[in-house]
A and B are shown apart, each in its own frame.
Chain A
Amino acid sequence: MRVLVVDDSKTMRNIVKGILGTIGATAIEEAGDGQDALSRVDAFKPDVILLDWNMPVMDGITFVRAYRAKNKTTPIIMVTTEAEKTRVMEAIQAGVNNYAVKPFTPESLSKVIETTMAKAAAKKAA
């Protein structure tokens, strides 16, 4: 599984990388903001994108809109402190596939990733 981790906090990226290491990620690419992620995503070809919402330069929701505008279907999981229902709905409408609210535990994030990947695989098979 190839994962693009987009978060402006290096600590958070390291934590996510640590968790991904335990669930079989084979390649991990990091980006510090949405713009950085857009510049890397086509070359890296991730299987899933883990995305923070609040970042400098380009925030997560702007990235989602720009990425989906290119008809890209790679699953995106928003990993954020934004837990309000309106924000969640906004993200889903923009094209986010799943949502993990901070604070999360390694187990809860792993479960969200696995669920998302299973759904994506099922959709692909159908």
Chain B
Amino acid sequence: MAGKTEIKVKIAADGSQATLVAPPGLDAALLKPENLIFQVKAAGVLIDQDVERNVAAFAAAYGSGNSERSDIIARSLPAVHGEDGRVEWQQGFDPRPQHAPASAERTDHYQGQHYVPVKTGDTVGMAHGPTGGTDGRDVRSGVLKARSGKPIAIKFHPMLTIDSGGRIIAQADGVLVLKDKELSVTQSLEVPGHVDFSTGNIDFPGSVTIAGGVGSGFKVTAGGDLHIGGLIEVAEIRCGGDLIARGGMAGNGRGRFRVARNVQVVYLEKVVGALNGDLIVEREITDCKLVVGRDLRCPNGTILGGEITVTGALMVKAIGSESYTPTVIALGDVPLLQGAHVKVAKTIEQINTMLGQFAEQARLIKLNPRPSPADKERLTEIAYEASQQNQELAKWATKLSEIETAVRTQRKLDVSVAKMIHPGVKFYIGECVVLFKTAAKGPLWICWDEQRHLMYKTSSGAARPLSEIAQVSRGHSAPAAEGPARAAAA
């Protein structure tokens, strides 16, 4: 008589649970588990072992039926929603803005880089795709649909690839940038403001553009060109391309630069520097120690104080000052190449010494009229090593010859002064020292004649011996090729 029973099966509207309700005073026969299971099943609830166990427990707990009993006997299996796609960054490659560490650890803020340099082949992170999730079921065995995860919210520029294992691999050297939800590798670094504690030192293999200046104590190293928008203070600048500074550089005797190509700057004050190319300065060069690999052009400015070596032409408005500021300029010298010349010549000497040692070893072995197999093998080794060293020697000899040719072609004397050479200015030209004791008014040109005599010319006349306007003496070496500037050149 199941139809007369007052036992009820209540199912939640969302199918998440089924409750068995039995009023008090029911006949024990009605509460047999098989009867209850029949009713639960009739209500549409899926019967499984859990339900059977819960129903049996319900029947046992009902007991004599003194009070109404209500127990949940079935629960839904909820859906497990999929996870959204995400990127797990490798240590040191997280391009998202970093927050200052909370710890009180000592940190070298000059060294703290706030951009992420990458090299080709670097694995910058792991891409975890979205998961689909697992569907659940309600108490009636209806499907509770799982929600799939969303794709990774980052687009990947072609400079980054994702391999079958999910590794995100850089395909170029540069800086890892996450901007507008796109991850890319840029081959030029842009610093929007100053180089200071907010950026740390900059060391980048490509080109660097700094919108502001470079603060004292910081180092900027760029493998390519370097553009600096503001003042360069007591900083160290190294550049594999051109250095273009929209401001000046005030080095206070400790600011340094080493540039592989040309430098263009508004002014230089108390700077030590060396460059392989041309130096173009808009205004003055004050108290600097410089080695210029090619021409120095400062047509609207003055060179005042310091020691400057110029390999190529010198074009300047004025040199020195009325107050007799000692200003030393070495000309017709190729210090950058001469350094390389010395180095190559030394290498050749070392190889020749080694070849001499091989020859001596071979000679001693050959003194034995019946050399042993070991001697013969050693002679083979010596012959091979000597052959290798001879190949090296030929390579270095070619290099030496190229340097000597370059020294000959780059060495020149071409000085053009538009307005004035003041007293106290000293030129080192080859073996000659030229000291200006009185002012020499421009425009004037200093050059060698065909016999390599030092001459000067004014706009009006023919070439005259330079000794007419300055004291010329022989037998001195240029000091400007020594000291800090030479160190910077090295």
Contacts and interface: CB of A to CB of B under 8 A. Distances in A.
A104 B373 contact: no
Interface residues of A, number: 15
Interface string B372-391: 01001111111110011000
B384 A15 contact: yes
Given A18-B388, A105-B387, A12 B373 contact: no
Nearest to B362: A103
A106 interface: yes
Q: Which size bracket describes the interface of B in this complex?
A: 10 to 19
Contact of B377 (A9, A105, A106): A9
Contacts of A81: 373, 376-377
A117 interface: no
Contacts of A103: 376-380, 382-383
Interface in B342-381: 373, 376-381
B380 A104 contact: yes
Contact of A12 (B380, B382, B387, B388): B380
Interface in A64-108: 81, 101-107
B126 to A, nearest CB: 38
B380 A15 contact: yes
A11 interface: yes
A14 B388 CA distance: 13
Contacts of A19: 384
A12 B383 contact: no
Centre residue among A12, A18, A101, A106 by max chain B CB count within 10 A: A106
A110 to B, nearest CB: 10
A120 B377 CA distance: 28
A15 B379 CA distance: 12
Interface in A12-35: 12, 15, 18-19
A45 to B, nearest CB: 27
Contacts of B388: 18
A15 B373 CA distance: 16
Contact of A18 (B373, B382, B384): B384
B293 to A, nearest CB: 37
A54 interface: yes
Nearest to A15: B384
Contacts of B376: 81, 101-103
A106 B373 CA distance: 18
A106 B383 CA distance: 7
Nearest to B366: A103
Interface string A45-74: 000000000100000000000000000000
A6 B295 CA distance: 60
Contacts of A105: 383-384, 387
A11 B377 CA distance: 9
Contacts of B381: 11-12, 15
A106 B389 CA distance: 13
B379 A102 contact: yes
A104 B377 contact: no
A34 B362 CA distance: 30
Residue from B373, B377, B379, B388 whose CB has the most chain A CB atoms within 10 Å: B377
Counting chain B CB atoms within 10 Å of each CB, the highest count among A18, A102, A105 belongs to A102
A93 B236 CA distance: 74
A11 B374 CA distance: 12
14 contacts: A9-B377, A11-B381, A12-B381, A15-B380, A18-B384, A54-B373, A81-B373, A102-B377, A102-B379, A103-B376, A103-B378, A104-B380, A106-B384, A107-B387
Interface of A: 9, 11-12, 15, 18-19, 54, 81, 101-107
| Nearest 9 A/B pairs, CB to CB | A103-B379, A81-B373, A103-B380, A81-B376, A102-B376, A15-B384, A105-B383, A106-B387, A102-B380
Given A15-B381, A103-B379, 16 more contacts: A9-B377, A11-B377, A12-B377, A12-B381, A15-B384, A18-B384, A54-B373, A81-B377, A101-B376, A102-B376, A102-B377, A102-B379, A103-B377, A103-B378, A103-B380, A106-B387
